[in-house]
Chains A and B, each alone.
Chain A
Amino acid sequence: MRILSLALKRLAASLPTLVFILIGMFLLLKLAPGDTVDALLAQMGGADAKVAADLRSFYGLDMSVAAQLGNYLWRLVRFDLGFSAIYGKPVSTVIIERLPATLLLMVSALSFAFFFGLVLGVLAARRVNRWPDTLISTVGLIFYATPSFWFGLMAIVVFSVYLQWLPAGGFEDITLGHAGIARTLDIARHLILPTLTLGLIFLAIYLRIMRASMLEVLNLDFVRTARSKGLDETRIVTRHVLRNALLPMVTLIGLQAGTMLGGSVVVESVFSLPGLGRLAYESVVQRDLNTLLGIVFVSALLVIIINFLVDLVYARLDPRIAGGG
């Protein structure tokens, strides 16, 4: 219970941050050339000044910036993100349609990066400065330096074009008309390359942090005690070291949540996945600022929620945090 109240306190502290982001973004987008009405008129093929003025008063765009900002924030409280002129639907509908693909991609990329980062980090730390460590660390450095979109393109060339093992893009093959398990498997097949592409750079980061953290913990007194008790090395690592070494890894999930969302913009464009990131890209290209603002809001919310969950996990891993207050 203490853990929960502590995490909730942290959550409440992030509310001002969210409001600050929204105000900043709103004012920033006011600077952008062209508003919703301009985008609408461009879609309609132009209209006279009277229609434009009517539309502006309809969307409340003729009011002062402060009044518009107040309106906007009040609508957000009721989770009304406005209307997307390009998609012809409320922004919240557009975003909710696109959210599952992004969440699925993020969760799978995170699991991939976390699991393999952990395993490789432990392996490297146990053979520190010998060839397995050198090999793993070098591969990690190369992964870190690889532009994700480029890795995605090269993976398409190898696995889709030459080997023809995996699809080159898309979320699922609708023409097959799968349902149930077959559909799940089809989606999983489509997500393999995007997951690898998005996860690669995070794998490199997790691996490096895990290695350093393992080396740090392995030098602590309680590990020496465990060794002198005559425990074998595997048991020491799994029972004593791992739990302590995991703390920085868990922190990193929260810190990297935003980066991962940003990375999904590029990965979703490479593999033409119908996700939030691709929506962000499309709304920049189509000047659909309402949708863009909505995506910013939802992304910030998502990052805050992920950090809330990370706090909970963190407190479970390290009882001192909940105890110390």
Chain B
Amino acid sequence: MSLLRAYCRSPSAVVGLVLLLIVVAMAASAGWLFPRDPLALAGRPLVWPGDNPRFSFGTDNSGRDIAAQIFHGARISLLIGVVATSIAIVIGVVIGAISGYYGGWVDTVLMRVTEAFQTLPNFLLLLVLVAVFGSNLMTVTIAIGVVSWPAPARLTRAEFLSFRNREFVQACRTLGMKDRQIIFREILPNALPPVIVYASVVMAVAILLESALAFLRLSDPNVASWGNLIGLGRDVLRIQWYVSAIPGLAILLTVLAVSLVGQGLNDALNPRLKGR
């Protein structure tokens, strides 16, 4: 409760939460408001928003309802964002925890691997993964998760380094607890809050990565994704720029919402930083 109050003290955090709830509501109501397949033909192509009351956001190049694609696209963006972020956080936490807890050569090897992933431009790695494993919704989501874990891993490692020699950990060792128990039951709950806050950054980047991939037509073409729609709209950009403009705004607002919520959580959890 006190956390909620601390969170609501910042107006930008509240704005972020409201925006995020709107996006979640869009995703939840998509099937109910637009029960038809969002990729099915709905009317004449390239109807401007407002020209026909049936299509409040107009139609795209092939006559599909843009509003339906926006609502169903919210599902895809949130799905990819949440799943890819979970994958990245799980990999990152496990690698960071082992690396920070054991130190020594284990740490050296794991950090070298992390460095390798950070040296490689992550969008390039994403292209390679998509080129090798194909681009359906599942492979794209996993690939985004796989390229996003190094930063959470480093963060977790830093946290573990600061905890590994604390008294409570020494007490656990003296009690004869197994390493696995110490890492996941004792240290992890203490190390997790900054990682969870950082997850909002990972999620924002994951949504942006997917939309960029879809824009290049390298994501799943059979789902209503905002990036796909922007890529389609590019062909008619000179006159019917709204086809690209509308889904772009949706991405912008969603990423903004996720970042603001993350920042709000950070400020609420670290009262020390208040006023920064």
Contacts and interface: CB of A to CB of B under 8 A. Distances in A.
Interface of A: 14, 16-18, 20-21, 24-25, 28-29, 31-32, 128-129, 138, 141-142, 144-150, 153-154, 156-157, 161, 212, 215, 255, 258-263, 265-266, 269, 280-281, 284-285, 287, 289, 292, 295-296, 299-300, 303-304
Interface in B230-248: 230, 233-234, 237-238, 241, 244-245, 248
A54 B244 CA distance: 48
Contact of B255 (A138, A145, A154, A265): A145
B115 interface: yes
B115 A14 contact: yes
Interface string B241-260: 10011001001110110011
A77 B129 CA distance: 25
A296 B122 CA distance: 10
Nearest to A19: B116
B230 A149 contact: yes
Contacts of A289: 131
A21 B130 CA distance: 17
A28 B132 contact: yes
20 contacts: A14-B119, A29-B132, A32-B131, A32-B132, A142-B252, A142-B256, A144-B259, A145-B252, A153-B241, A154-B245, A161-B237, A260-B121, A261-B123, A262-B126, A280-B127, A281-B216, A285-B218, A296-B125, A300-B119, A300-B120
Interface of B: 12, 112-113, 115-116, 118-133, 204, 208, 211-212, 215-216, 218, 227, 230, 233-234, 237-238, 241, 244-245, 248, 251-253, 255-256, 259-260, 275-276
Given A153-B237, A154-B245, A266-B216, A21 B116 contact: yes
Contacts of B260: 141
Contacts of B230: 147, 149-150, 153
Contacts of B130: 284
Q: Label chain B's interface by main secondary structure.
A: helix
B237 A156 contact: yes
Nearest to B273: A212
Contacts of B133: 31
A296 B215 contact: no
Given A145-B204, A258-B121, A295-B124, A17 B115 contact: yes
